[in-house]
Chain A
Amino acid sequence: MAPVLDPMVGRYVRLDIDGVPHRIYFEEAGSGIPLVCLHTAGADNRQFRHLLADPEVTKRYRVMAFDMPWHGKSTPPDGWEKTEYRLTTASYTAAIRAFCKAMELDRPVVMGCSIGGRIVLNLAIAHAAEFRALVALEAADFQQPWYDTAWLHRPDVHGGEVCAALISGLVAPQAPPVNRHETLWMYMQGGPGIFKGDLYFYRVDGDLREKVKTIDTKVCPLYLLTGEYDFSCTAADTLRTASQIPGVQVQVMKELGHFPMSENPAKFREYILPVLEKIAKT
Chain B
Amino acid sequence: MTPADRFARLPELIADDTDLQRRGRWLNVECRIEIGAEPFHLVLHDGALAAFDRGPRLMRSTAFTIRGTDEAWTQHWRKIPDPGWHDLFALTKRGVASFDGDLRPLLQNLQFFKDLLALPRRQPEAG
On whether the beta carbons of B80 and A162 are closer than 8 Å, the reply is no
Contacts of B114 in A (CB 8 A): 165, 168-169
Choice from A162, A174, A231, A235 contacting B87 with Cβ under 8 Å:
A231
On whether the beta carbons of A231 and B83 are closer than 8 Å, the reply is yes
Chain A positions 152 through 188: 1 when the CB is less than 8 Å from some CB of chain B, otherwise 0: 0000111001101110111011100000000000000
- Known contacts: A168-B114, A169-B86. The answer to whether A158 contacts B108 by CB under 8 A is yes
Q: What CA separation (Å) do A231 and B83 show in the bound complex?
A: 8
On whether the beta carbons of B107 and A146 are closer than 8 Å, the reply is no
Do most interface residues of chain B lie in helix, strand or loop, or is the interface mixed? Answer: helix
Choice from B89, B104, B107 contacting A231 with Cβ under 8 Å:
B89
- Known contacts: A166-B89, A229-B83. The answer to whether A151 contacts B107 by CB under 8 A is yes
**Which are the 3 A-B pairs with shortest beta-carbon distances?**
A169-B87, A165-B110, A165-B111
Q: What CA separation (Å) do A164 and B94 show in the bound complex?
A: 21
Choice from B92, B107, B111 contacting A157 with Cβ under 8 Å:
B107
Chain B nearest CB from A52 CB (Å) reads: 28
Q: What CA separation (Å) do A169 and B117 show in the bound complex?
A: 13
> Does B101 belong to the interface (CB within 8 Å)?
no
On whether the beta carbons of A144 and B93 are closer than 8 Å, the reply is yes
Q: What CA separation (Å) do A256 and B42 show in the bound complex?
A: 34
Contacts of B89 in A (CB 8 A): 146-147, 166, 169, 231
Please provide the chain B residues from 76 to 126 with a CB less than 8 Å away from any CB of chain A in the complex: 80-81, 83-84, 86-90, 92-94, 103-104, 107-108, 110-111, 114
Chain A nearest CB from B109 CB (Å) reads: 8
Choice from B86, B93, B94 contacting A173 with Cβ under 8 Å:
B86
Excluding A147-B89, A172-B83, A231-B84, 13 further A-B contacts by CB distance (< 8 Å) are A151-B103, A157-B108, A158-B108, A161-B111, A162-B107, A165-B111, A169-B90, A173-B86, A229-B86, A231-B87, A231-B90, A231-B93, A231-B94
Choice from B86, B87, B104 contacting A156 with Cβ under 8 Å:
B104
- Interface range, B side: 10 to 19
On whether the beta carbons of B87 and A168 are closer than 8 Å, the reply is yes
On whether the beta carbons of A173 and B111 are closer than 8 Å, the reply is no
Contacts of B107 in A (CB 8 A): 151, 157, 162
> Does A263 belong to the interface (CB within 8 Å)?
no
Q: What CA separation (Å) do A95 and B81 show in the bound complex?
A: 39
Contacts of B90 in A (CB 8 A): 169, 231
Chain A nearest CB from B79 CB (Å) reads: 9
Q: For residue B103, which residue of chain A has the nearest CB?
A: A151
Q: What CA separation (Å) do A188 and B108 show in the bound complex?
A: 13
Choice from B87, B103, B104 contacting A170 with Cβ under 8 Å:
B87
Q: What CA separation (Å) do A165 and B113 show in the bound complex?
A: 10
Q: List 16 A-B contacts (CB under 8 A).
A: A146-B92, A147-B89, A151-B107, A156-B108, A164-B111, A165-B111, A166-B89, A166-B110, A168-B114, A169-B87, A169-B114, A229-B86, A231-B84, A231-B87, A234-B84, A235-B83
Chain B nearest CB from A157 CB (Å) reads: 5
> Does A141 belong to the interface (CB within 8 Å)?
no
Choice from A147, A166, A173 contacting B80 with Cβ under 8 Å:
A173
Contacts of B108 in A (CB 8 A): 156-158, 162
On whether the beta carbons of A146 and B83 are closer than 8 Å, the reply is no
